[in-house]
Amino acid sequence: MKLKLKVWRQKNNQTKGSFEQHTVEATEHMSFLEMLDVLNEQLISEKKDPIAFEHDCREGICGTCSMVINGQPHGPQKGTTTCQLHMRQFKDGDTIVIEPYRVNAFPIMKDLVVDRSAYDRIIQAGGYISVNTGQAPDGNSIPIEKNTALKAFGAAACIGCGACAAACPNGSAMLFTSAKISHLSHLPQGQVEQTKRVRGMVAQMDKEGFGFCSNIGACEVECPKEISTENIALMNREYLKASLVSE
């Protein structure tokens, strides 16, 4: 299939960017990133600067393949990362618009690459459990009710790709932050530091400049791991309880 691409090109966060048009030949069996690889081979053979985009595992696990395709983070296929999106989702002659995430807290580094280290700093503010190191405990030493374990696992599926913030018209990171808080709040090991965790992570989220949640729900729709907005409700409850407890 022959495709027309409109790709965002920008040297860095201090320069003005613009769309660049290209034509590329692809097969329906290629992944979206493999199609971009073909385009970059074309550009290199023409002695032009290849398009910068992030990728790592290409298995839908790492969350680095973050870009907006035809106005949707990760593209048109629900519950799918860009690296797992295949060209069979497009038709011969289609025009595909590819651009980076447009989030104030994610400055553009180059072309389609944005700096998502704000998410890392939110995790550092409390998304962990402090325990003494030593021999690993038996997996069944602390029994956890099945439905509770499933809720924790569902929240833990978040890969931190940033699609939720990119989809939100307010640029909110509530779904990401709530998933990390909810994951640990459901488990007895995480409840010891629950108050400190929710205070620290919410404060860091606000410090990074993310917007407020207005319950639009675009974050859940565009999340490649289909993280539920129920986690946001849980985080709000935990934050309210934490605000009533003196340090």
Question: From start to end of 48-168, where are the E strands?
Answer: 68-69, 72-73, 95-99, 108-110, 113-114
Q: Which residues of the chain have pLDDT under 70?
A: 133, 139, 246-247
Q: Output DSSP code: residue 86.
A: B
If we measure between CA atoms, which residue out of 42, 10, 8, 11 comes closest to residue 24? Answer: 42
Q: Which helix (H) or strand (E) holds 219?
A: helix 218-222
Q: Spell out the domains of the chain, with CATH numbers in brackets.
A: 2-109 (3.10.20.30), 117-243 (1.10.1060.10)
Which region holds residue 104: left if phi is over 0, alpha if psi is between -120 and 50, else beta?
Answer: alpha
Max CA pair span of the chain: 64
Which residue has 């910068």 as its token pair?
52
Question: With left for phi above 0 and alpha for psi between -120 and 50, is residue 102 left, alpha or beta?
Answer: beta
Q: Which pTM was predicted?
A: 0.93
CA distance 160 to 63: 6
**Helix (H) / strand (E) containing 20:** strand 18-25
- The SS3 assignment for 68 reads strand
Any idea what DSSP says for residue 84? Answer: G
Pairwise CA distance, residues 131 & 84, whole Å:
36
CA pair distance 65, 162, nearest whole angstrom? 10
43's enclosing H/E stretch is: helix 32-45
The structure tokens listed for 86 are 């295949």
Phi and psi, residue 31, nearest 5° = -80, 165
Residues 6+ apart with CB under 8 A from 115: 106, 107, 108, 109
**How far is the C-alpha of 153 from the C-alpha of 107, rounded, in Å?**
30
Cα gap 10→18, rounded to integer Å: 7
pLDDT recorded at residue 10: 97
Distance CA 220, CA 52 (A): 27
